[in-house]
Structure 1
Amino acid sequence: MAEKTQTKPAANGTPKPKSEVWETVVILVQALLIALVFRSLLFQPFSIPTASLQSNLMIGDYILTSKYTYGYSKYSFPFDFAPFNGRIFGRAPAQGEIAVFRPVPQQVDYVKRVIGLPGDTIQMKSGVLHINGEAVKKERVGTIIDTDSFGVSIPVIQYRETLPNGTSYIVQEISDSQPMDNTAVYKVPAGHYFMMGDNRDRSSDSRVLRSVGYVPLENFIGKAEVRFFSIKDNINPWQIWRWPGNVRLDRMFQSVYQ
């Protein structure tokens, strides 16, 4: 006699057919694959944990980066693995764009603004950015209080900086005499980029060669596009009970280039 197979009773006591169990597994696998493709090929979310791009990107902002804009490398995929060498498709980062990348000496992702292109020379003189020997236009716009990830608040001066290609944005400084306000001349190597934070005196960026330095094209992950969520004090977004009074509605669903 053939043995009869049995299905495990469901919570209500009714056996659940094996076909339904299999369909549920298939749906879950499909959902995971879609999420993986979305994250690897289209858009990847990132949170902003530090003050290096304030006030353009605040601590507690969540952004979406487009993966396809700069194409794909091993840093585009989970586990830093790709079945090819170098970078394929996409275009090169443009001066003034905010990008997520992996510095060569680091194992964590950074987000900064593209300042120097391959072959450019970069130097800071008394807080003024110089590109290829020319001072970048810098106009004072006001003073605000800036708070870093350690909760330290200090007054900073805000300026509007305009790059040679016309890209304009707000930078802020404690003063023009901080440690990285006067630097040597940096010569950006071929195939590399020079990245800087907008919060100039509170940013570890390409000016610090030992920890960030020049960024190879292959190490770019994506171009920052929009803020889709923002919450004060870097509160975990899953703590919904803390949203009232802490979610910054005025910073949500906006381009990072406003």
Structure 2
Amino acid sequence: MPSSSSALRRPAPARAGGWRESVQSLLLFLLLALVLRTFVVMPRSIPSESMMPRLLVGDYVLVAKWPYGFSRFSLPFAPAAPAGRLFGRLPRRGDVVVFRAPPDDRHDYIKRLIGLPGDRVQMRAGRLWLNGRIVPRARIADFVVPLAANTECRSIALTPYGLSADAEGRPLCRLPRYRETLPDGRSYTIIDQGVTPQDDTPPVTVPPGHFFLMGDNRDISADSRFPATPGGGIGLVPFDNLEGRALITFFSSGAAFDWRHPIAWLAAIRADRIGQGFSS
């Protein structure tokens, strides 16, 4: 009869089905990730400066999919034919939304929602008018961001705006910034650099089931001020095209990832932007 000490030293037999449990755990994880991606949140990267100052090229945002319900554009495996929304709820003015851009509905854009159905929207001399009243705005400190590899710093304004430098000679992007406040009190910051053709538009009454969207970088944003053309303006955006509401910036980098230079890519991470939300 073996001693108790030898019994304790004897290796335990391998539990049958261990690999099956590993596979099941992996499948459950993949299923959970698919459910989250389909119904809860989705990641999106920012490819342009049309939403500066809130968003920079190289920002990555989580987009909440549930606030406005679900359409064929927000559900990745939905067929192309059906229209309408499941559990649809209207957004609020001032929401930053991701949507499929008209007229070809092929690419995702991100803009700020300005006009709801029935609203009358117009630009006069660079100022936003909503339902016959000018939307208040106040000049605040310039928007200043260190120049990065993916920063275009597109500017129509004269010096000191556009490409600039700090006291030590480090390159900066400096742009004039304003705080705009909607009738319900929601506010956000915009960039307005100077006079452009889109500073004056005819009044537009937003039809049922559509929205008027604008970029925060008013002088370089192709948005609802322009007719819908592929790769250009978006016109008035149908409700069905909305995919979700921007929720939080979860990552930001001033350079594109290059596997040959991972240290340089890590050094370009903008930690101060991570965790920024979109509430006014």
Aligned counterpart, 1:222: 244
SS of the aligned residue for 1:255 comes to coil
SS of the aligned residue for 1:124 comes to strand
Task: Give the distance between the partners of 1:180 and 1:84, measured in 2 at CA.
Answer: 35
- Give the TM-score normalised by structure 2: 0.78
Task: Provide the identity percentage.
Answer: 41
| Correspondent of 2:189 among 148, 170, 173 | 170
SS of the aligned residue for 1:63 comes to strand
Aligned counterpart, 2:170: none
Aligned counterpart, 2:47: 49
Matches within 5 A, 1:81-120: 81=79, 85-105=83-103, 106-120=105-119
Matches within 5 A, 1:89-238: 89-105=87-103, 106-144=105-143, 151-154=152-155, 155=161, 156-175=175-194, 177-211=195-229, 212-233=234-255, 235-236=256-257
Q: Is contact 1:231-1:237 (8 Å) kept?
A: no
- Distance of aligned partners of 1:52 and 1:24 in 2 relative to their CA distance in 1, 3 Å threshold: same
Aligned counterpart, 1:77: 75
Task: Give the distance between the partners of 1:186 and 1:237, measured in 2 at CA.
Answer: 45
Q: Is contact 1:63-1:229 (8 Å) kept?
A: yes
What amino acid is the match of 1:133?
G
SS of the aligned residue for 2:178 comes to strand
User: How far did residue 236 of structure 1 move?
Assistant: 3.0
SS of the aligned residue for 2:279 comes to coil
Q: Is contact 1:103-1:213 (8 Å) kept?
A: no
- Give the TM-score normalised by structure 1: 0.84
Aligned counterpart, 1:65: 63
Task: Give the distance between the partners of 1:80 and 1:205, measured in 2 at CA.
Answer: 27
Unaligned runs of 5+ in 1: 1-16
- Distance of aligned partners of 1:99 and 1:237 in 2 relative to their CA distance in 1, 3 Å threshold: farther
SS of the aligned residue for 2:222 comes to coil
- Distance of aligned partners of 1:18 and 1:73 in 2 relative to their CA distance in 1, 3 Å threshold: farther
C-alpha distance after superposition, 1:131-168 (max 9, x if no partner)? 11211001111334577967245323211100111111
What amino acid is the match of 1:91?
R
SS of the aligned residue for 1:40 comes to helix
Unaligned runs of 5+ in 2: 1-14, 156-160, 162-174
C-alpha distance after superposition, 1:193-240 (max 9, x if no partner)? 11101000011111112231111111111111111111114x239774
Aligned counterpart, 1:241: 263
User: How far did residue 20 of structure 1 move?
Assistant: 5.2
C-alpha distance after superposition, 1:233-257 (max 9, x if no partner)? 4x23977423443111111112123
Q: How many correspondences in the alignment?
A: 241
User: How far did residue 29 of structure 1 move?
Assistant: 2.9
User: How far did residue 75 of structure 1 move?
Assistant: 1.1
Aligned counterpart, 1:8: none
| Correspondent of 2:29 among 23, 31, 38 | 31
Q: Is contact 1:49-1:59 (8 Å) kept?
A: yes
Aligned counterpart, 1:13: none
Q: Is contact 1:117-1:194 (8 Å) kept?
A: yes
Q: Is contact 1:42-1:66 (8 Å) kept?
A: yes
Q: Is contact 1:128-1:135 (8 Å) kept?
A: yes
Measured on the aligned residues, the alpha-carbon RMSD in Å equals 2.7
